[in-house]
Chain A
Amino acid sequence: MTFPNPQDVREATAARQGSGPAISPAASPVVVEARKLSLVYPTADKPVTALSEVDLTIARGDFVSLIGPSGCGKTTLLRVIADLERPTSGHIAIEGMTPEQARLKRLYGYVFQAPALYPWRTVERNVMLPLEIMGLPKAERRQRAREQLERVGLSGFERKFPWQLSGGMQQRVSIARALALQPDLLLMDEPFGALDEITRDHLNLHLTQLWRATGKTCVFVTHSIAEAVFLSTRIVVMSPRPGRILDVIDCDSLPRERTLDIRESPEFAAIAHRVREGLKEGHSYDD
């Protein structure tokens, strides 16, 4: 598999979208803003607090990872941003809109834990699905699907069916499908959770190059410390029962351009250590 040169892709993307490179953290307006966000599920015995008084601001161009143990509400937070869940109290705005308005305007692309590809559609037609729903003309649908499949390194697999591909390839198709919408905001819920570590490293490298090339804002849910540190500009450490934010760590000490080698650097180790300490603190409440 070959990766397109990030610089080329960024320029091509910029030219197509008619704007300059989107990576400019200095002038970053806010993409996602949450204030005192809470979500309580009613259950049979007692209500479960999935999110408790969460405050979070995500700036344009950021790669934010939500990390924490199972049940800490990281997926719930992502689903609230995507308007797949409604908060019980608090305020949240996506690009200054309510999540529902943002969803109806198709402002974000969502990558699920599982690829969720439709088995009766070929790879190409899976990527074209959101574009069909948007009502784009056929020629443009096909062109965008081809571009995104090329971007995730799956050219030549257009006519295959999802079940003829490996798990890693299927997840790459689902990323291409989210990118085909050309959203500014990419929401990813443990997209590589089910994959082996070698494939995962590979896709992480790929993802960080993609992020740099497209300048999108990414929100990434994971429970892997190494993955979070490797990918993120900011890491949000969460803790369960009730789901809340313990720490927000800036990764400014790492370069924006990441290679697998940075995982050996002392800066990487320092951030990973801080994340681990944060997680430990959250866990002491469990016992």
Chain B
Amino acid sequence: MSEAATNPYRTSLRSAADWGLVAVALPALVALVLPLGSLNGAPVGWLGGTMAPLFLIGVVLAVIAGRSAPKRVWGAWAELAGVALAWLLPFHLLKEGLDLSAGWGLWLFLVAATLLLWRVMGVLAGVPGGIRSVVVPGLFGLGLLVGWEVLVRGFQVPAILLPPPSRIAAALAANAPVLWDDFRQTVLTSVLRGYVMGCGAGFLVAILADRVPFLARGLLPLGNLASAIPVVGIAPIMVMWFGFDWQSKAAVIVVMTFFPMLINTLAGLGNSERIQLDLMRSYAAGYGRTLVKLRLPNALPFLFNGLKINSTLALIGAIVAEFFGTPVVGMGFRISTEVARMNLDIVWATIAVAALTGSGLYGALALLERATTAWHPSMRRR
């Protein structure tokens, strides 16, 4: 296309043909002669009595519509509909009772659909605004979930090894009250308190160490030492010291988060340029004013770095610490007991809650960082 744009008088097969589409069509054509699956041991083809031909016609129409659309973006949406229809086919076949594990025609067809999705995403990623920043990552995640669901069900992976997302979602819904109690105990009680205490203490000690240089010299090697301590070693000791409830989890989190915050804050406070410090000195600004007006704003990117690292560390710390003793509630407790009872659905549901919580915390911090350090070269948009 770009070649045609630079030299409008010259057309070759290379520039005239849509080679991307050819790459999609080839596996799809081969797929047509292979079976879709088997029913009671007998292979079933495309014309084996299912509604597969209807899906095929739908996809072909969508691709033709996409090719002939007046705008590339509209075409992408049409092709996206084709992709969705193609990926719905295995669900229809599973409903008809087919065994898909030998259905190479179907899998090849889905490979072609995925290639088509690649094309669509390429176009959509070039559209500025909400489509690029929300729709594209959203489609990507949705695609992964659908692929996971279809592969696990199609190849009949035992649920004990890997349940399909739908089963995890069902477990989430069925055990919502229990999971909510776990979330409240682990996240709202232990993690938030431990995080605030650990980060707050790290920040305050960093300010103190900035004022008293020997503290920094003494504490930084200790920080390296502390970051090498394994959680599984410190957690049982903290449970012995502070008991089964949230206090021991908060203590583990404080140990894990204190030094990353201290080191990042110290690095941030050292980040002001000589000339900026001279400027404050020429205004006869004292230590406190220089700290508030210059050094802390300059340290913000470092502070957020520490806070973001700690947000994930805190969640891991709390969950692992709960393995070593807890009142009979909490995400770590849930995982350890339900694994022992082979109740893997709930374990996966808890993992999902933990993953969502972790990314939620991280995302919130990232948004806050963007709001407060929009001036920083890494965030600037003119």
Contacts and interface: CB of A to CB of B under 8 A. Distances in A.
B283 A130 contact: yes
Contacts of A118: 276, 294, 297
Contacts of A207: none
Interface stretch (B34-42, B192-200, B255-263, B374-382): B374-382
Contact of B282 (A110, A114, A163): A110
B289 interface: yes
Contacts of B282: 82, 84, 103, 108-110
Given A106-B284, A163-B380, A133 B279 contact: no
A15 interface: no
A268 interface: no
Contacts of A112: 275, 278-279
Contact of B284 (A104, A109, A120, A129): A104
B27 to A, nearest CB: 50
Interface in A106-152: 106, 108-110, 112-114, 116, 118-120, 129-130, 132-134
Interface residues of B, number: 21
A23 B278 CA distance: 30
Given A119-B375, A120-B375, A133-B284, A110 B293 contact: no
Contacts of B279: 110, 112, 116
A18 B213 CA distance: 48
Interface in B345-376: 373, 375-376
Given A119-B376, A120-B297, A164-B382, A133 B276 contact: no
- Ranked 3 nearest A-B pairs via Cβ: A120-B375, A119-B375, A110-B282
Given A163-B375, A163-B377, 8 more contacts: A84-B278, A110-B278, A112-B279, A116-B279, A118-B294, A120-B375, A133-B293, A134-B283
21 contacts: A82-B282, A103-B281, A105-B284, A106-B283, A110-B278, A110-B279, A112-B275, A112-B279, A113-B275, A116-B278, A118-B276, A118-B294, A120-B375, A129-B293, A133-B284, A134-B283, A161-B375, A163-B375, A163-B377, A163-B380, A181-B283
